[in-house]
Amino acid sequence: MKFWQERPAILQGGTCKMSKELVFGHQSPDTDAITAAIAYSYYQNQLGYETEPVALGEPNDETRYALDHFNMKAPRVVKTVANEVDKVMLVDHNEPQQSAPDIDKVTVTHVVDHHRIANFNTAQPLYYTARPYGCVSTILTEMFQQKHIDIPANLAGMMLSAIISDTLLLKSPTTTDHDREAVKYLAKVANVDYEEYGLAMLKAGTNIAKRSDMDIVEGDAKSFTLGGKSVRIGQVNTVDLDDVFARQADLEKTMHSEMDKNNYDLFILIVTNILNSDSDLLVTGEPTDVVEKAFGKKLSDQHRMNLPGVVSRKKQVVPPLTDAFEG
Ligand code: MN
Ligand code: MN
């Protein structure tokens, strides 16, 4: 076959045909991971790429509430990606241990993220957009605006939901003016009262009684390598800490079995009260003295530590732990 016969689109004056890419967020996806994949895929398709948003897990209760509210479909769930495509775009993460298990077998062409960059290497140059905002959906809102691409109302509702989720209704210390501006803009496009809707959405994600021990422990967990140790950090939102700690023994059992199965050294569950913005840590494994050093506090006999005003894993838990492990 001759060169030109392989590329009919060029001869017809159309756009050059590119192979499809998958767009996805981190494992144990939260509302931002799911929404950013949908939004970034839509954005790239408007610019002529062929992409599909997918997810590395099922949406959680909060995300489901948002998808239902705005009449959107959850992205297809995939376990691996190299069996389908050669190229991928990452949103809401970059660390390989939070990504698809076969991420090393594909080329990452684009990243849009708001986390620390760690253990991330590529063989090829790429588009990498990192901004220290409260949410990827805020970065994407600005990217849509810069390219003058309209955000459909239901997608705007999802992006609004993601910002509310990541910033706990703009109360987390990760919140920036960019997030506040994006919320105002998206609420107008989606035509919702964001405070009323946002609290209802956050509460929909806190139905502890309905959730299994595994789901509470692992539902939002992420892995970090800190000072050579494998550290697993989960987070669960609640409107009453007692709803979670009434099940502490069972939760610890689940944390221990996950540690054994996956060779984690340390497992920390952050239990966050979304109404008063406080958290209690539940800590299993070792080294616990490093956790105490990180927060300048002793763990209770119950393996717990109360941290008033702490709601952000990314900004208030991982950095002090990193300092304590590596400092
Ligand atoms: Mn996320
Ligand atoms: Mn995020």
The tens-digit pLDDT sequence of the chain (327 residues) is 344 444 444 433 344 456 999 999 999 999 999 999 999 999 999 999 999 999 999 999 999 999 999 999 999 999 999 999 999 999 999 999 999 999 999 999 999 999 999 999 999 999 999 999 999 999 999 999 999 999 999 999 999 999 999 999 999 999 999 999 999 999 999 999 999 999 999 999 999 999 999 999 999 999 999 999 999 999 999 999 999 999 999 999 999 999 999 999 999 999 999 988 899 999 999 999 999 999 999 999 999 999 999 999 999 999 999 999 998
CA of 25 to the centre of ligand 1 (A): 7
CA of 255 to the centre of ligand 2 (A): 24
Q: What is the pLDDT of residue 327?
A: 81
Task: Tell me the one-letter amino acid at 226.
Answer: L
CA of 113 to the centre of ligand 2 (A): 7
Residue 247 backbone phi and psi in degrees, to 5: -110, 25
Please, what is the end-to-end C-alpha distance for the chain in angstroms? 60
Give the number of C-alpha atoms closer than 13 A to the C-alpha of residue 303, restricted to the C-beta side: 20
CA of 283 to the centre of ligand 1 (A): 22
- Distance, CA of 48 to CA of 34 (rounded, Å): 22
CA of 222 to the centre of ligand 1 (A): 10
CA of 47 to the centre of ligand 2 (A): 23
Residue 135 backbone phi and psi in degrees, to 5: -160, 145
Contacts of 199 (CB under 8 A, 6+ apart): 169
CB 33 within 8 A of CB 117: no
Token digits for 1? 């076959």
CA of 11 to the centre of ligand 2 (A): 42
CA of 49 to the centre of ligand 1 (A): 24
Residues with Cβ–ion distance below 5 A, ligand 1: 30, 32-33, 92
Contacts of 265 (CB under 8 A, 6+ apart): 229, 230, 231, 259, 285, 286, 287
- Distance, CA of 11 to CA of 7 (rounded, Å): 7
Q: What is the pLDDT of residue 116?
A: 94
Ligand nearest to the CA of 26: 1
* DSSP string covering 34-54: HHHHHHHHHHHHHTT--EEEE
CA of 134 to the centre of ligand 2 (A): 7
CA of 29 to the centre of ligand 1 (A): 6
Ligand nearest to the CA of 25: 1
CB 101 within 8 A of CB 262: no
Ligand nearest to the CA of 167: 2
CA of 51 to the centre of ligand 2 (A): 20
CA of 16 to the centre of ligand 1 (A): 33
